[in-house]
């Protein structure tokens, strides 16, 4: 077999066998297939796509390319959750303690942010002392004894995906459904959960800009999960505006803690309840989604969810006083207010631009190696549907370095569309694929 022949076959739209896919993927991982041939192969997939069987095989090959986690020593059904990436998406910080407080063990591996989207691991590192790298023993012990652990992915989890993703990132081959679905699902399969709840974001801040393509992605991932024997459900959720009112690491931790205390933004709490309900149902903690929703809301009202968050911070070495004293998060004290240029309503927001504005302040990375500033970001005082007066503050930028402050302010101002008419209410959950 030669890489040339596999590229040619895919380029001509012919279905590849498992052996051919394995030959390309593992050859690339082992350094036998050079970057230029893998790049050509990925571009052929981009234009010719993959059949369900090809996708399934690609996912399995990538999932088996490194370590796989065995969660079987943890009693009960283990359910993972994954978001396809959004702006202001601090769901895991709220959802993990909520579902754990309801009795579902959470053994979560999360990622870092890239580009305009944030990542849970960066956010957690805004908590002084919090360790996101635990040994496998400590990870398992914490889940067994405390019902919760949230860590960064081990270096050797689906290394084929890591290497291919880096190449896709520089060859304009990220946004192809089979490639995204197999990339996400290979990591989920390797991470060992019995069930998977997917949050597929749709809108201006997401990879998938419309409901039709988000549905295709959701179907592809649910199909891969089920074929691998994992109960899998996907929610299609709104990313036409950022989730909650903050974007940026320490700011998002603050908002997550406020939400766990019952004082958070409605959209964030609702999303956590909806995703959590699917998790509790798959995990057999609740019989119906309505029972699960009630349990999750009660976990906030009773204070059990915020206490579980405190416990998570303590067992991973963080300063749990942050729960009572949010100033310990070290949010920058330098602020800049962006004012409304006119009267009216916020008619729409471009979530990607909000993410870029936050990134320009230093909260995000353009390259994997970039260092980020955890103390900066954006607080949105006005969001879609809110009335505004000329000169009123739309949002507050928290910054340290003045270098990109004005371009960030300009970017975020361009993210707001202000009109005289009030926009129609948008749904938070567009649909469920299962």
Please list the active-site residues. 82, 161, 168, 183, 187
In the complex, least distance from residue 205 CB atom to ligand URA, rounded to whole angstroms? 13
Asked if residue 225 binds ligand URA (CB under 6 A), the reply is no
The CA distance from 150 to 132, in Å, is 7
The CA distance from 20 to 26, in Å, is 10
What DSSP line would sit under 311-376, residue for residue? HHHHHTT--GGGGT-GGGG---SEEEEEEPSSSEEEEEE-HHHHHHHHIIIIIS-SSTT----TT-
117 DSSP 8-state letter = B
> 392 to 411, contacts with ligand URA by CB under 6 A?
none
Q: Give the bridge partners for 233, in sequence order.
A: 197
Residue 84 or 332 having the CB closest to ligand URA = 84
Residue 300 or 356 having the CB closest to ligand URA = 356
Residue 71 or 177 having the CB closest to ligand URA = 177
The CA distance from 140 to 157, in Å, is 16
Counts of helices then strands in the chain (DSSP H, E): 16, 13
> 55 to 84, contacts with ligand URA by CB under 6 A?
84
Tokens 């192809």 belong to residue: 176
Asked if residue 242 binds ligand URA (CB under 6 A), the reply is no
Asked if residue 120 binds ligand URA (CB under 6 A), the reply is no
In the complex, least distance from residue 296 CB atom to ligand URA, rounded to whole angstroms? 26
Here's the x/- map for ligand URA, 83-102, by CB under 6 A: it reads as -xx-----------------
> 157 to 186, contacts with ligand URA by CB under 6 A?
165, 174, 179-180, 183-184
Burial label for 209, CB within 10 Å (0-12, 13-18, 19+), is: middle
In the complex, least distance from residue 246 CB atom to ligand URA, rounded to whole angstroms? 22
Residue 62 or 277 having the CB closest to ligand URA = 62
Residue 157 or 179 having the CB closest to ligand URA = 179
The CA distance from 269 to 277, in Å, is 12
Binding interface with ligand URA (CB under 6 A): 84-85, 165, 174, 179-180, 183-184
């Amino acid at each position: 077999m030669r890489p040339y022949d596999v590229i040619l076959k895919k380029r001509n739209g012919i279905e590849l066998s498992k052996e051919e896919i394995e030959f390309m993927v593992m050859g690339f991982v082992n350094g036998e297939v050079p970057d230029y041939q893998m790049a050509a192969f990925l571009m052929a997939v981009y234009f010719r796509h993959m059949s369900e069987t090809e996708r399934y095989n690609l996912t399995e090959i990538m999932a088996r390319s490194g370590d796989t986690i065995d969660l079987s020593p943890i009693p009960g059904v283990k359910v993972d959750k994954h978001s396809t990436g959004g702006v202001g998406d601090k769901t895991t910080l709220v959802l993990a303690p909520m579902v754990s407080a309801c009795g579902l063990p959470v053994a979560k591996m999360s990622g870092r942010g890239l580009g305009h989207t944030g990542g849970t691991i960066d956010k957690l590192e805004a908590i002084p002392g919090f360790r996101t790298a635990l040994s496998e023993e400590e990870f398992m012990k914490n889940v067994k004894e405390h019902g919760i652990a949230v860590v960064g992915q081990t270096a050797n989890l689906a290394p084929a995906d890591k290497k291919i993703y880096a190449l896709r990132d520089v060859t304009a081959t990220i946004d192809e459904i089979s490639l995204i679905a197999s990339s996400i699902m290979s990591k989920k399969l390797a991470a060992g959960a019995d069930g998977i709840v997917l949050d597929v974001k749709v809108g201006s801040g997401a990879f998938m800009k419309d409901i039709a393509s988000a549905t295709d992605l959701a179907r592809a991932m649910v199909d891969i999960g089920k074929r691998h024997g994992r109960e899998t459900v996907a929610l299609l959720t709104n990313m036409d505006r950022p989730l909650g009112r903050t974007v940026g690491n320490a700011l998002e931790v603050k908002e997550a803690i406020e939400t766990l205390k019952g004082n958070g933004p409605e959209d964030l709490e609702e999303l956590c309840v909806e995703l959590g309900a699917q998790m509790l149902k798959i995990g057999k903690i609740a019989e119906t989604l309505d029972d699960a929703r009630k349990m999750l809301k009660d976990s906030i009202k009773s204070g059990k969810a915020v206490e579980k968050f405190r416990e998570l911070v303590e067992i991973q070495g963080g300063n749990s006083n942050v729960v009572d004293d949010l100033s310990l998060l070290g949010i920058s004290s330098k602020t800049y207010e962006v004012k409304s240029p006119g009267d009216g309503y916020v008619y729409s927001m471009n979530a990607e631009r909000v993410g870029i504005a936050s990134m320009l302040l230093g909260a995000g990375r353009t390259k994997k190696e970039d260092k980020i500033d955890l103390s900066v970001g954006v607080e949105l005082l006005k969001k879609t549907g809110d009335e505004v007066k000329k000169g009123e503050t739309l949002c507050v930028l928290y910054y340290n370095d003045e270098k990109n402050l004005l371009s960030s302010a300009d970017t975020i101002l361009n993210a707001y569309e202000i009109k005289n008419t009030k926009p129609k209410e948008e749904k938070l959950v567009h649909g469920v694929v299962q």
